[in-house]
Amino acid sequence: MIERPWRCFWAVPLPQILRASLADAVAELRSDPAADADWRWSDPAGWHVTLAFLGGVAGDSVPRLLAAVSAAVRDETSFAMTTGGLGGFPSGRRARVLWYGVADPDRRLRSLAARVAAASGIVEAGPFHAHVTLARSRDRRGAPTPTAPAGGMPDGSVEVDRVTLFRSHLGRGPARYEALGDAPLMTAVPAAPVPAR
Backbone angles phi, psi at 113, to 5 degrees: -60, -40
Checking if the pLDDT of 10 tops 60, the result is yes
d(CA 32, CA 13): 28
Cis, bond preceding 184 (omega within 30 deg of 0)? no
Measured in whole angstroms, the distance separating CA 162 from the mean position of its chain's CA atoms is 13
Out of 71-75, 86-90, 127-131, the most confident range is 71-75
Instruction: Give the pLDDT confidence of 138-188 residue by residue, as tens digits.
Output: 999 999 999 889 889 999 999 999 999 999 998 777 788 999 999 999 986
User: What are the domain boundaries of the chain?
Assistant: 6-184
pTM of the entire predicted model: 0.89
Kindly state the greatest CA–CA separation across the chain: 73
pLDDT in tens, 11-44: 999 999 999 999 999 999 999 898 889 999 999 9
* Phi, psi dihedral angles at 176 (to 5 degrees): -110, 140
Cα 135 to Cα 12, 167, 175, distances in angstroms: 18, 19, 12
CATH node for 6-184? 3.90.1140.10
First and final CA of the chain: distance in angstroms?
73
